Amino acid sequence: MSAVRAWLLVDVPRSRWQARCQRFFLAWLAFRQNAGAVAGLVIIAALVAVALLAPWIAGSTGVAPDLGNRLQPPGPVFWFGTDELGRDIFDRIVWGSRITLYIVGLVTLIVVPIGLAVGVVAGYVGGWLDSTLMRLTDVFLAFPRLILALAFVAALGPGLENAVLAIALTAWSPYARIARAEALTLRHSDFIVAARSQGIPHHRVLAGHVAPMCMSSVIVRLTLDMAGIILTAAGLGFLGLGAQPPTPEWGAMIALGRDYLLDQWWVPAFPGLAILVVSLGFNLLGDGLRDVLDPKSRS
């Protein structure tokens, strides 16, 4: 153990691999100091674990009705009680974690490539292309996100994928701004000039040298944004425009539980708690990552 530690903390790394490991280890040491950030990491890790192990954690599929056990209060058999169709709310929340992760993954897959591509090209190429792309980015940045998502879902029809698409449509613009700012400072740096003078074509410089340098800022921003994205997706689900029944999406579960609030509070209470915990996790993790990866904003 101490040998590994010594290898990780040696003053002059011998190989690229060692240097890279070292950087991660030092970041981890700084990250570990931040109790909130570690709590956030634990929450997100738990979310991923629950989503992966859902078939083994949940006793039922969470979809099939069991009318004999309608609206049972929380107890030793049904930890979080049952809903109006007798489905175990705990099981539904467990299965719902997969949907939350699916939303997170899908938004990331759409938003990061678009934002990176627009921002990196704008910053690297400069000139009229830069101003055009940035004007476009500003236009999207100024859009009202939730209302536009509503209008999009209205046009495309309710559904989880459409809701995510609608969110992603307005979410990419901050990433373009971040990537442009990074690309702008890198454009004339020595290692880029060196790469160019070796005859590496522009698109490979962009993809292989400029884009990776933007990743840490992008990851920080993405983690901080994720809570908002989860809340927006849950909100669309709550309005009946996101995932459709019987999918155990947390926002939709709250909407179904609304009618039972007065006498069976547990039906809407627990899904909301799940949303709160997960978005809290992303916010905590994002704050911690920002302190570690982005020394400029350290206070």
Partner 1 sequence: MPEGRTGSQLDRNRNSLLVLAPRRIAGTALSLVLTFAGLTAVTFAIARVMPADPVLAIVGDRAHQDVYDAVYRELGLDQPIFVQYLRYLGQLFEGDLGVSIMTAQPVLHDLLRFFPATLELATVATLLGVLVGVPLGVLAAVRQGRWLDHLIRTVGLFGYSVPVFWLGMLALFVLYAKLGWVAGPGRIDIFFDGMVEPVTGLILVDSALAREWEIFRNALGHLVLPAGILGIHSLAYLARMTRHFMLEQLGQEYILAARVKGVPERTVIWRHAFRNVLVQLITIVGLTYASLLEGSVLTETVFAWPGIGQYITSSLFNNDMNAVLGGTIVVGVCFVGINMGSDLLYRLVDPRAR
Q: Binding residues for partner 1, per CB under 8 A?
A: 36, 135-136, 138-140, 142-148, 150-157, 227-228, 231, 234-235, 238-241, 251, 254, 258, 261-262, 265, 268-269, 271-272, 275-276, 279-280, 283-284, 299
* Cβ neighbours of residue 44 closer than 8 Å, sequence gap 6 or more: 278, 281, 282, 285
In the complex with partner 1, the residue whose CB is nearer, 200 or 239, is 239
At its nearest, how many Å lie between partner 1 and the CB of residue 130? 15
In the complex with partner 1, the residue whose CB is nearer, 195 or 285, is 285
**Which residue, among 247, 275, 274, 270, has the nearest Cα to 260 in the 3D structure?**
270
* Cβ neighbours of residue 73 closer than 8 Å, sequence gap 6 or more: 81, 264, 266
In the complex with partner 1, the residue whose CB is nearer, 6 or 155, is 155
Question: If you search the block for the tokens 């547990």, which residue do you land on?
Answer: 266
At its nearest, how many Å lie between partner 1 and the CB of residue 257? 9
In the complex with partner 1, the residue whose CB is nearer, 71 or 215, is 71
* Residue 246 three-state SS: coil
At its nearest, how many Å lie between partner 1 and the CB of residue 233? 10
Q: Would you call the peptide bond into 246 cis, given omega within 30 degrees of 0 as the criterion?
A: yes
At its nearest, how many Å lie between partner 1 and the CB of residue 2? 33
At its nearest, how many Å lie between partner 1 and the CB of residue 281? 8
φ/ψ of 82, rounded to 5, equals -125, 160
In the complex with partner 1, the residue whose CB is nearer, 209 or 247, is 247
CB atoms within 10 A of CB 182: 23
